[in-house]
């Protein structure tokens, strides 16, 4: 696991990958980002395009082709939406290697399996430290 963030259950559904990419790219070259439908936003696709990173982010089922006039910050996602609609989910997933996302889910499953789903610590700083140790030891085990 290269990066993680600590949030409460009250955090909004839309997730931004920009802070995570900033932290990871200091130490690693990021070539592709896998994400579920929660990451399907214009902002995320735009950020990946700026950084020349391939996106394997699942497009939401109800995604449409966009408005007649496409704003620049919408182009990257809309291009992927059109491919997704043209190819069908199964073909899109194969071409984007979306099946490799199981490795990400497996890592979170192992983390929860070894250390439990909740933090024992109280306070954000202590929780951050606890999770940092858990991630450190998970990386040592794997």
pLDDT of residue 134: 95
User: CB under 8 Å to 63, separation ≥6 — which residues?
Assistant: 40, 81, 84, 85
Given a cut of 70, whether residue 119 has pLDDT beyond it is yes
In the predicted structure, residue 133 carries a pLDDT above the cut 80: yes
Q: Are 6 and 23 in contact (CB under 8 A)?
A: no
Please check whether residue 110 is in contact with residue 142, taking contact to mean a CB–CB distance below 8 angstroms: yes
* Of 25, 36, 35, residue with least CA distance to 3: 25
* Average pLDDT score over residue span 77-99: 91
The chain-wide mean pLDDT, for the chain, equals 88
Burial class of residue 46 in the structure, from the number of CB atoms within 10 Å of its CB (0-12 exposed, 13-18 middle, 19+ buried): middle
Statement: the pTM of the whole predicted model exceeds 0.85? no
pLDDT band, very low/low/confident/very high, at 32 (cuts 50, 70, 90): very high
Round to whole Å and give the CA distance between 54 and 115.
Answer: 32
**Stretch 45-58: mean pLDDT:** 94
Q: Where are the beta strands (DSSP E) in the chain?
A: 32-35, 54-57
What pLDDT is recorded for position 131?
93
């Amino acid at each position: 696991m290269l990066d993680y963030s600590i949030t409460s259950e009250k955090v909004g559904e839309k997730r931004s990958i920009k802070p995570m990419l900033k932290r990871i790219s200091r130490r690693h070259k990021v070539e592709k980002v896998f994400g579920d439908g929660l990451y399907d936003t214009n902002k995320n696709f735009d950020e990946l395009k700026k950084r020349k990173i391939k996106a394997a982010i699942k497009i939401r089922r109800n995604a449409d082709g966009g408005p007649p006039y496409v704003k620049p910050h919408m182009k990257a996602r809309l291009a992927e939406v059109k491919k997704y609609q043209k190819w069908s989910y199964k073909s899109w997933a194969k071409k984007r290697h979306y099946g490799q996302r199981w490795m990400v889910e497996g890592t979170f499953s192992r983390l929860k399996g070894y250390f439990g789903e909740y933090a024992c610590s109280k306070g954000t700083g202590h929780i951050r430290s606890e999770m940092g140790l858990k991630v450190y030891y998970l990386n040592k085990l794997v």
